[in-house]
Chain A
Amino acid sequence: MRKLQAIGRRIGGRLLSSVPAILGVVILTFLLMRVLPGDPAVFFASGPSAGQQEIEDLRKQMGLDQPVPVQLVRYLQDIATGNLGRSMTTGQPVLTDMQQRLPASLELTFSALFLALACALPLGILAALRPGSAVDHVVRFLCTLGVCMPTFVSGLLLIYAFYYLLGWAPDPTGRIDIFASAPPEITGFLLFDFAVTGDLEGFRAAFSQLILPACTMALFVLAPLARMTRASMLAVLGSDFIRTARSIGLAPWRVILVYALRNALLPVLTIAGIVFSTMLGANVLVEKVFSWPGVASYALDALLASDYAPVQGFVLLMATIFVLVNLLVDILYGLADPRIAAE
């Protein structure tokens, strides 16, 4: 009981201490957007007959006629009441857009991270067990390839091969076959929703749409995960307790998976946390190439149009997710290494 309380206190403390950071990010983004050249009112009043009057009206409607400090105070008030403003690019409240698009991004990122970890851990362990061997070189080659190839190139290549030439993959547009009926709207995570409603056909369709973009992203983050696993395993495998374990005749798999891997996981967890946050924001190219209706491409479109509200909302969302992921990683540390939780 006391332990649970301690954990709860720690989580609360961490969340509280992240508030100033988030506030700072919000204000910085707010100011940055206004410093950038480009007037959203001019951009959006660019109809064939829109004149100066329309630009002025739009500026007023968006609250841009006020001095910047006044705008900032209003914006902070709005955030406090859960109103993130309205996007001019989609015409919808930013909160609604985010709610619809975040599950798409999360589903893609989780799948890609899972795929990447599922490949990177075995590869990293194999490479660490036989450093300098052919296996090690193959893993290094794979990682280099994954990192060197920009995601839009690997994405387009995969599309070209598996959709255009072979015809194995469905057309790379969005999360579900466009001609199929609409998916059930429960959580927004299609795989989960289809599984819950028992719609196997739908699950298969959603899965086949997901596999190419997930592979593209997994390929990109394979390198940091596999290399970190390898380095960390190498260090642990050379330590005294492993030598002891081996000398007393424990099964090799037990030595590697139970004693070595668990101790080597800490840096991998840290990297996985960072990789996850980066993927969520940086998968914009994958989202664009696969017409994936996620938050990153949404924010980029808004940025190109100088549409303030969605960009600010996106940054706020990313900052929050980053804080939560870091918290989660810290909790996982405790599971991997009880010494840290006890502190």
Chain B
Amino acid sequence: MDLTRRQSLLALTALAAPAGIALPAGAQPAASRAETLRQVTGNAVNTLDPTMPGSTREAFGISMNVYDRLVAFGRRQVDGNWVFDHTVIRGELAERFETSADGLKITLHLRKDARWHDGTPVTAEDVKWSLDRAVSAKSLAGPQFTTGSLTKPEQFRIAGPGVIEVLLDKPDRLALSNLAVPYAIMINSKLARQHATAEDPWAQSWLQNNTAASGAYRIDTYRPGVQVTLTRNEDWKGGAEGLPFFRRIILQTVPEAATRANLVERGDADLSIDLQASDITALETRGKVKVASIPQTNGFTHISFNTQVAPFDNVKVRQAIAAALPYDSMFKAALFGRGRPLFGGTFTGQPASADFPQPMPLKQDVERARALLAEAGLASGFSTPFAFSAGQAATAEPLAALVQEALGRIGIKVEIQKMPDAQFNTLVAEKKLNFYTDAGTAWLPATYYFFYLYFTRDQRWNFASWNNPRITELSNAARFETDQAAYDAACREMIGILAEQVPLLMLWQPNMDAVMAANLRDFTYQFYRQVDFRDLKRA
């Protein structure tokens, strides 16, 4: 029998047809490239549970998109860019909440239609378990929650179906805000408890590589150190503006910054928030991509003194150095001016605003510096090392060179020390560096919180080892102050003392430069300094 060409084709088609029909039932059609967002980063996600010690900032970012919290911060526009707004708190997994008049009880009502990723309803028991886990398990969540006076499981009470009460001993200003931070994940307790063991009652090891969440995205693939892909949760109800635009997210680790820049410019990747400053200026001039430059309003770069060690225990020496530095040149050399200065403030005594960080009255005055140094009895100068970490070398190296040059002019001999990050961090924690530059960020940028975190107590984040009884007193009082005027007064006094005592020199807030495809919009600067994929859209 002779087969014609047509007959063979027909036969082939018949063979091929069943393969075409046999698509998996119920599968979503794959997300198109336009609905897929690809972010490239130099770092990596190392856990799906953000509360684990050692979790990276990228892990926080992923968890914000995968887990819901009870509440979330709002956002506002500043100079054409979206920035998070910690003063506006809206419900996320909670539909609404109210705080009692005395500020001692927060009642949260869960969304009736809220579902976990496995389809089971979200209950008050799940929420109670998640909150108990945050304060009981050995993790990073515990110490964070104490800054909101949330310390023990008894403070969380189920008050009926879908209603949870948070009880406080004192009206802590940041109790509610703490429920919005990356650590405050709400976990499907029925699922998680199946994987709990006697030694690990909070399923910490299971949750490191698995999720039990309800958020806007589900984890599709998780390859630690390489990439994470997310798919949109079509049943998500927690957003302020409905479902997110992007159906698929790829967060990929690309260690080489120049390669990341190439990828974004060629349009193969959509977004990167950790490019080199020099690449960013070049990308901007070529104009193929969009750059959102947003000051990191909750962070600060600083030069710290060890206020417990001579000669920096002498306030005159600190003031002399503060007056000797060329702030403008440092700002231009280190950041190419990409940021918000925290020097050059004009107030004397106390500032008009209670906001912090705000520009401090720091300006170069070499004559005054010499005079102050003479008053301190060190007219002939002294010598000191000045340290920074290799990870910050791109900005810290030019900064250090200028510090060395400027202090040389008033007789202080500076020896620059560049250290590997791990070594630098260890020395900072052990208070063994006397003069160095570093940076800090506070998730909750309330003025008292900054002072409590960075300027009180003998702990790692007290960069300057500063011990000022009045600051301790004021920051503790401000924390529970319900009267806004009294709170503002306390904050202004603290800022005034800081400006006069200069335990550390506030320099600037570097910009976050989000470089993205020209058609992306609504990028929001978040307090955890990662990308909130839920807000992003493609025009």
Q: Is the CB of A39 within 8 A of B426?
A: yes
Residue among A91, A291, A306 making CB contact with B256, cutoff 8 Å: A291
CB of A267, distance to nearest CB on chain B (Å): 36
Looking at A46, A49, A55, A88, the one whose CB has the most chain B CB atoms below 10 A away is A49
Query: What CA separation (Å) do A178 and B40 show in the bound complex?
Result: 11
Task: Establish whether residues A49 and B143, one from each chain, have CB atoms under 8 Å apart when the complex forms.
Answer: yes
- Whether A291 touches B252, Cβ cut-off 8 Å, given contacts A38-B420, A91-B52, A179-B33, is yes
How far, in angstroms, from A299 to B61 measured CA to CA in the complex?
25
List, in ascending order, chain B residues with CB within 8 A of A88's CB: 46, 54
CA distance A156 to B262 in the complex (A): 10
When C-beta atoms are compared, the residue in chain A nearest to B31 turns out to be A179
Given that A89-B225, A90-B44, A301-B225 are contacting pairs, would A50 and B259 also be in contact in the complex, using a CB cutoff of 8 Å? no
Contacts of B301 in A (CB 8 A): none
Known: A58-B54, A88-B46. A178 touches B227 (CB 8 A): yes
- Asked if B253 contacts A291 (CB within 8 A), the reply is yes
Q: Does A159 contact B (CB under 8 A)?
A: yes
Q: Could you tell me if A163 and B266 are in contact, using CB atoms closer than 8 angstroms?
A: yes
A77-97 vs B, Cβ < 8 Å mask (1 yes, 0 no):
000000000001111100001
Across-interface contacts of A37 in B (CB, < 8 A): 419-420, 422-423, 426-427
Residue B536 at the chain A interface, CB threshold 8 Å = no
B501 at the interface (CB under 8 A from A): no
Report the bound CA distance from A297 to B254 in whole Å. 11
Q: Say yes or no for B441: interface residue by CB 8 A criterion.
A: yes
Q: Give Cα distance in the complex from A159 to B265, angstroms.
A: 13
- Chain B CB count within 10 A is highest, among A45, A156, A159, A173, for A173
Q: Is the CB of A291 within 8 A of B255?
A: yes
Bound-complex Cα distance A129 to B266 (A): 46
B466 within 8 A of A: no
Contact between A173 and B252, CB atoms less than 8 A apart? yes
Is B53 a contact of A54 with CB atoms below 8 Å?
A: yes
B10 within 8 A of A: no
Residue of A nearest to B59 (CB): A91
- What is the size, in residues, of chain B's interface with A at 8 Å between Cβ atoms? 54
Is A30's beta carbon under 8 Å from chain B?
no
Contact: B53 with A50, CB < 8 Å? yes
Interface 1/0s, chain B 16-27, versus A by CB < 8 A? 000000000000
Given contacts A57-B138, A172-B259, contact A90 B252 (CB under 8 A): no
The answer to whether A91 and B208 have CB atoms under 8 Å apart is yes
Q: Does B191 contact A (CB under 8 A)?
A: no
B486 within 8 A of A: no
Question: Are B252 and A174 closer than 8 Å at their CB atoms?
Answer: yes
Interface residues of B in 177-223 (CB under 8 A from A): 208-209, 221, 223
Q: How far is the CA of A37 from the CA of B33 in the complex (A)?
A: 46
Q: Which of A46-60 contact B (CB under 8 A)?
A: 46-55, 57-58
B53 touches A47 (CB 8 A): yes
**A172-208 vs B, Cβ < 8 Å mask (1 yes, 0 no):** 1110001100100000000000000000000000000
With the chains together, A57 CA to B52 CA distance in Å? 12
- Contacts known (A88-B54, A163-B262, A288-B256); A178 close to B250, Cβ less than 8 A: yes
**Does A40 sit at the interface, judged by CB under 8 A?**
yes
Task: Select one of A39, A48, A290 contacting B422, CB under 8 A.
Answer: A39
Determine if B377 is an interface residue (Cβ-Cβ < 8 Å). Answer: no
Q: Is A164 positioned at the interface, with any CB of B under 8 Å from its CB? A: yes
Please pick, from A51, A61, A160, A290, the residue contacting B143 in the complex, using a CB distance under 8 A.
Answer: A51
What distance in Å separates the Cβ of B304 from its nearest Cβ neighbour in chain A? 16
**Choice from B140, B208, B221, B226 contacting A54 with Cβ under 8 Å:** B140
A315 CB to nearest B CB, Å: 18
Residue B365 CB within 8 A of the other chain: no
A276 at the interface (CB under 8 A from B): no
In the complex, A64 has a CB within 8 A of chain B? no
B460 proximal to A (CB < 8 A): yes
8 Å CB contact of B259 from A36, A100, A173: A173
Q: Is A258 close to B, CB under 8 A?
A: no
For chain A residues 296-316, which have a beta carbon within 8 Å of chain B?
297-298, 301, 304-306
| A61: B residues at CB distance < 8 A | 53
A332 at the interface (CB under 8 A from B): no
Q: How far is the CA of A297 from the CA of B225 in the complex (A)?
A: 10
Q: A89 — which chain B residues lie within 8 A by C-beta? A: 44, 46, 54, 225
Q: Are A47 and B459 in contact (CB under 8 A)?
A: no
Give chain A's interface residue range (CB within 8 Å of chain B). 35 or more
Query: B133 CB to closest chain A CB, in angstroms?
Result: 16
Known: A45-B54, A48-B144, A91-B208. A38 touches B422 (CB 8 A): yes
B225→A164 contact, CB < 8 A = no
Residues in A whose Cβ lies below 8 Å from that of B252: 173-174, 178, 291
Measured in the bound complex, the distance between the Cα atoms of B253 and A58 in whole Å is: 26
- Whole-angstrom CA separation of A42 from B433 in the bound complex: 15
Verify if B263 is at the interface (C-beta below 8 Å from A).
yes
Q: Confirm or deny: B472 has a beta carbon within 8 angstroms of a beta carbon on chain A.
A: no
B279 near A: Cβ within 8 Å? no
Knowing A47-B55, A178-B252, say if A40 contacts B429 (CB, 8 Å): no
The distance in angstroms between the C-alpha atoms of A37 and B417, with both chains bound, is: 14
Structural contact, B259 and A49, CB atoms closer than 8 A: no
Specify which chain B residues have a CB less than 8 angstroms from the CB of A259 in the assembled complex: none
What CA separation (Å) do A174 and B268 show in the bound complex?
Answer: 14
Q: Is B47 an interface residue (CB 8 A)?
A: yes
- State which of B224, B226, B268, B420 has its C-beta within 8 Å of the C-beta of A171: B268
Q: Are A159 and B460 in contact (CB under 8 A)?
A: no
Interface string of A142-177 (1 = CB under 8 A from B): 000000000010001001100110010001111000
In whole Å, how far is B163's beta carbon from the nearest beta carbon of chain A?
28
Q: Is the C-beta of B147 less than 8 angstroms from some C-beta in chain A? A: yes
Q: How far is the CB of A216 from chain B (nearest CB, A)?
A: 12
What residues on B are CB-neighbors of A48 within 8 Å?
A: 144, 441-443, 453, 461
**Interface check B258, CB cutoff 8 A:** yes
Q: Return the chain B residue nearest A181 by Cβ.
A: B30
Any A CB within 8 A of the CB of B319: no
- Tell me the chain B residues, 265-310 only, with Cβ under 8 Å from chain A: 265-266, 268-269
Q: Which of B55, B419, B423, B441 has the most CB of A within 10 A?
A: B423
B392 interface residue (CB < 8 Å to A) = no
Q: Is A293 an interface residue (CB 8 A)?
A: yes
Which of the residues B53, B266, B422, B460 comes within 8 Å of A164, measured between beta carbons? Answer: B266
For residue B184, give the distance in angstroms from its CB to the closest CB of chain A.
Answer: 12
Whether A289 sits at the interface, judged by CB under 8 Å, is yes
Interface flag for B36 (CB, 8 Å): yes
Chain A residue, CB-CB nearest to B46: A91
Interface positions of B from 109 to 134, Cβ below 8 Å from A: none
Residue in A36, A47, A160 whose Cβ sees the most chain B Cβ within 10 Å: A47
Instruction: Assess the B460–A51 pair: CB atoms within 8 A.
Output: yes
Q: Which residues of A contact B511 (CB under 8 A)?
A: none
Supply 9 A–B pairs (Cβ within 8 Å), ascending by A: A45-B54, A48-B441, A49-B453, A51-B143, A52-B460, A91-B209, A156-B258, A179-B250, A293-B225
- Chain B positions within 8 Å of A, measured between CB atoms, are 33, 36, 38, 40, 44, 46-47, 52-55, 138, 140, 143-144, 147, 208-209, 221, 223-227, 250, 252-256, 258-259, 262-263, 265-266, 268-269, 419-423, 425-427, 429, 441-443, 453, 459-461
Q: Give chain A's interface residues, CB within 8 Å of chain B.
A: 36-40, 42-55, 57-58, 61, 88-92, 97, 100, 152, 156, 159-160, 163-164, 167, 171-174, 178-179, 182, 288-291, 293, 297-298, 301, 304-306
Other contacts beyond A39-B426, A46-B425: 15, CB < 8 A: A37-B422, A38-B423, A48-B461, A49-B453, A51-B143, A51-B461, A55-B429, A61-B53, A89-B44, A91-B224, A156-B256, A171-B263, A291-B254, A293-B226, A297-B255
Among all A-B residue pairs, the 5 with the closest Cβ atoms: A38-B422, A44-B54, A306-B422, A90-B224, A37-B423
